[in-house]
């Protein structure tokens, strides 16, 4: 059943109407060129503003990458390594940093045989899993004596540290000591 409707004024479309679609009119000639002209003008204005801004900033803007320093030849200084010495006046403590019983006493006997004084104090470190024997010295003037302790033990390294520094009252002279923490490398000897 097809419906037929009566004709009205909307059914007659004039032939000279240049509309396409419901709300679109044809693009007027030259409109594409006008958009291109506006884009070019905006680009010129932005570039000019950038140039003027950089000119006003002057030397405050630097486009050179200064993050990598200029390569120069390193200055070599001949700092002599202190000679290993035995210092009979040094206060020395030997701490056992392993689970081997009596290791500090054995190390003291070895140091006494090497010429170190009898007044070395034995003890246990707060940890028992130290891998490398280390001689700690508190002042750079003790480096030679620290090297002498390491040589007397036949193993170890030296390290400048205040980790074992003895606290003093105000006005008293600090007591410098050398502290040996025995590790697994000494126990394996």
Domain with 102 in it: what CATH number?
A: 3.30.70
Q: How confident is the model at residue 63 (pLDDT cuts 50, 70, 90)?
A: low
Question: Which phi and psi angles does 125 have, rounded to 5°?
Answer: -75, 160
Lowest mean pLDDT segment, chosen from 71-80, 94-103, 118-127, 178-187: 71-80
Tell me if 145 sits within 8 A of 88, measured CB to CB.
no
For residue 58, tell me if it sits in a domain: no
Looking at residue 24, the DSSP 8-state letter turns out to be B
For residue 149, tell me if it sits in a domain: yes
Angle ∠(79,83,88) on CA atoms, nearest 5: 135
What's the domain range around 101?
A: 91-187
pLDDT at 60: 66
* Residue, of 102 and 168, whose pLDDT is higher: 102
Structure tokens at 43: 């680009």
Lowest mean pLDDT segment, chosen from 66-70, 92-96, 100-104, 118-122: 66-70
For residue 107, tell me if it sits in a domain: yes
For residue 49, tell me if it sits in a domain: no
pLDDT at 81: 84
pLDDT at 182: 93
For residue 7, tell me if it sits in a domain: no
For residue 19, tell me if it sits in a domain: no
Query: Per the structure, how many domains does the chain have?
Result: 1
What mean pLDDT value characterizes the chain? 83
* Residue, of 173 and 153, whose pLDDT is higher: 153
pLDDT at 21 over 70: no
Average pLDDT on 16-39 reads 72
For residue 71, tell me if it sits in a domain: no
* Residue, of 72 and 36, whose pLDDT is higher: 36
For residue 28, tell me if it sits in a domain: no
Q: pTM to 2 decimals?
A: 0.57
Strand-pair partners of 93:
121, 179
């Amino acid at each position: 059943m097809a419906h037929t409707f009566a004709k009205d004024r909307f059914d007659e479309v004039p032939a000279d109407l240049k509309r396409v679609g419901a709300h679109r009119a044809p693009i007027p000639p030259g409109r594409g060129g006008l958009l291109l002209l506006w884009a070019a003008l905006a680009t010129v204005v932005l570039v000019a503003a950038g140039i003027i801004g950089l000119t006003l900033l002057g030397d405050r803007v630097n486009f050179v990458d200064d993050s990598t320093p200029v390569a120069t030849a390193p200055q070599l200084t001949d700092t002599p390594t202190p000679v290993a010495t035995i210092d009979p006046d040094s206060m020395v403590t030997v701490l056992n940093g392993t689970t081997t019983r009596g290791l500090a006493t054995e190390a003291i006997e070895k140091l006494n045989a090497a010429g170190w004084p009898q007044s070395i104090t034995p003890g246990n470190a707060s940890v028992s899993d130290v891998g490398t024997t280390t001689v700690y010295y508190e002042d750079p003037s003790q480096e030679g004596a620290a090297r002498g302790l390491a040589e007397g033990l036949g193993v170890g390294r030296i390290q400048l540290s205040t980790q074992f520094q003895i606290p003093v009252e105000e006005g008293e002279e600090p007591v410098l000591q050398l502290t040996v923490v025995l590790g697994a490398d000494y126990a394996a000897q």
